[in-house]
Amino acid sequence: MSDIDPHFQAHLEAQAKQAAENPVPPIDQLPPEMVRAGYRMQRQSQDQNAPKDVDVRDFTIPGPHGAIPVRLYEPHGLAGPSGLLVYYHGGGWVIGDLDTHDGHCRRMAAWGGCRVMAVDYRLAPEHPFPKGHDDALAAAKWAFDHAAETGVDPKRIAVGGDSAGGNLAATVAIDLRDDPVRQPAFQLLLYPATTSEWTTPSRKTLDGPVLTFQAMRWFERLLAAAGHPEAHRLSPMDREVKGAAPALIVTAGHDCLKDEGFAYAERLKDAGVEARHVEYPRLPHDFYIMADVSPAVIEAAKETAGALKAAIG
């Protein structure tokens, strides 16, 4: 991994040393709740310095499977009505929550000059596919329908997410293509999963350093989408995307999902959708929520927030 960011290199070496001294069972031999708790603790410890000048409010909105917790971020001094990013956290549809991605959402709000509504969608295996996808779509629709009461301009609503959350955002953007009223202005897809196939070179060769093949297979098994009549919703790459919102797709150089992220940008362009692809070649998967590990994360986050501001700010 000689071409990985040196700060991440040191971080990964320290983690490997710790794992050698205190071995833990493979991820697929642990209960999801334990993995979630470990992930939450790890990511929060790696993101302690997010902007504080953001007001945060937690509440619930209705969804097809019951109430959906959300967290609304509003930068201090933001004039309304503003743009809004409806944001879906990553974690393989199995782990991750409002707290693992709190720092990242604060940065997007503060530096993007917009409100952010983070969505705590249902996770597998307790809530298998497509319940998380249903929650994601319901949350986006709610954001449009309640724009006035949240201080939002409905013409400046974006959907976004990272990894599995990027998958959710992409599917929501497709689901709303033909909605006469609810039209996203932008989609922000950060190292998104865009296919359920293991055919790209990066899915065959980039096993880690953060997202491993073993973890990916575990996520897929617990999501239980294979064979489901709506399984097509899991692969934006295979769906009709003409008319979807303009997109920024960000990929990481050390990530098994990087090739499908680039391919999805090309797929959008081929369908006449305005799409831009940016790769950070020296960074690994999940870097946006490890802001304290390397200054390179802050630089990338500022660039990404700048694109968000240009789109809906």
pLDDT digits (tens, 9 = 90+) for 188-237: 999 999 999 999 999 999 999 999 999 999 999 999 999 999 999 999 99
pTM of the model: 0.98
**In-domain check, residue 11:** no
Cα-atom radius of gyration of the chain, to the nearest Å?
18
- 3-class SS of residue 57: strand
Identify the CATH number of the domain in which residue 297 sits.
3.40.50.1820
Give the other-Cβ count within 10 Å of 44's Cβ. Answer: 15
In this structure, what token pair is assigned to residue 7? 């700060």
Residue 80 has a pLDDT of 81
Q: Which residue numbers are catalytic?
A: 163, 255, 285
Count of domains for the chain: 1
Cis ω before 201 (30° cut-off from 0): no
15 within a domain of the structure (yes/no): no
Question: Residue 232 has what pLDDT?
Answer: 94
Q: Residue 105 has which token pair?
A: 């959402």
How far apart (Å, rounded) are the C-alpha atoms in residues 285 and 162? 9
Cα angle at 151 between 148 and 157, to 5 degrees?
85
Residue 2 pLDDT: 57
Position 284 in a domain? yes
* Residue-by-residue DSSP string for 90-147: -STTTS--TTTTHHHHHHHHHHHTSEEEEE----TTTS-TTHHHHHHHHHHHHHHHTT
Parts of the chain with a pLDDT under 50? 1
Is residue 19 in a domain? no
Domain hosting 86: range is: 25-312
Residue 72 forms part of a structural domain: yes
**Total residue count of the chain as it appears in this document:** 313
Looking at the domain assignment, is residue 175 inside a domain? yes
